[in-house]
Amino acid sequence: MSSTIDQIINQYIAQLKTEGATGLEQYKQRIKNNTKNPAVLGDLLFEGRAALMFLRNGFRVAMRERPDLQIELDGEVVYVEVKHFHEKEQDRADEKAMREAIDLLVPNGNLTESEGAPAWKQIATVAIRKASQYMSDGLNILVIESSSESLQLMLPSAVHEYDDEVLNSNDPCLRRLNAMMLINTHSIGFRPSGPWNIKFCQTAHAATPLSVKLVFALTNIRLDLA
């Protein structure tokens, strides 16, 4: 590992430590073990960005491995699994179409043709696939960090698809998930923090419901990763 990368990692860990995160030694080691694997390294850094978001919105945060984070607010603990959706080829095609468009309205974000499934279906599939990672004795949320514009406005449809699968499969592991959160990181640096950056949706059939206090706090999270 080069000294430059080592310095960047140390600065990143120091920022998390300053903000109050715990469990950083294990997290730092996981980062160092994956410095030659850009995809995994990027996903690990997105876990840290999610941790900073929660820390800056009043939560205590502990870095974990499975699930990725443990957050706490006034004694109430929630486990967080983080998934990063990378920028997609469709995003680049959409941007090209918008640059070349004569009409003001240009269709975009259609992943069915390019990837075989719409964006909302892809989110629901990830949530279902991660069911075994949700804690059986706790509250769980799935945080989707999206570098793709194609996922905007798709969370309610994804949660509805997930809810249907809960009922159809009757899998108790699926009932562990309380909510999903979609973070649009694509617009960071272009727009201030606001409701357009984050969407929070509860699932309909969780075995243990979130408290009113947690729902209010999670619904009102704002993104500030400067």
pLDDT of residue 139: 98
In a domain, 208, yes or no: yes
In a domain, 3, yes or no: no
Structural domains of the chain, count: 1
In a domain, 16, yes or no: no
pLDDT of residue 200: 96
Contact 186, 87 (CB under 8 A): yes
Contact 55, 62 (CB under 8 A): no
**Per the structure block, which two tokens stand in for 182?**
């979609």
In a domain, 103, yes or no: yes
In a domain, 8, yes or no: no
* 150/155 Cα distance (integer angstroms): 11
Cis peptide before 67 (omega within 30 of 0): yes
Give the structural domain span for 123: 37-219
In a domain, 27, yes or no: no
In a domain, 225, yes or no: no
Kindly report the pTM of this predicted structure.
Answer: 0.82
In a domain, 32, yes or no: no
Per-residue pLDDT of the chain (226 residues; tens, 9 = 90+): 466 778 888 888 999 999 999 999 999 999 989 988 988 888 898 899 999 999 999 999 999 988 999 999 999 999 999 998 865 444 334 344 444 445 554 444 454 454 557 888 889 999 999 999 999 999 999 999 887 666 667 899 999 999 999 999 989 999 999 999 998 875 444 344 444 478 999 999 999 999 999 999 999 998 765 5
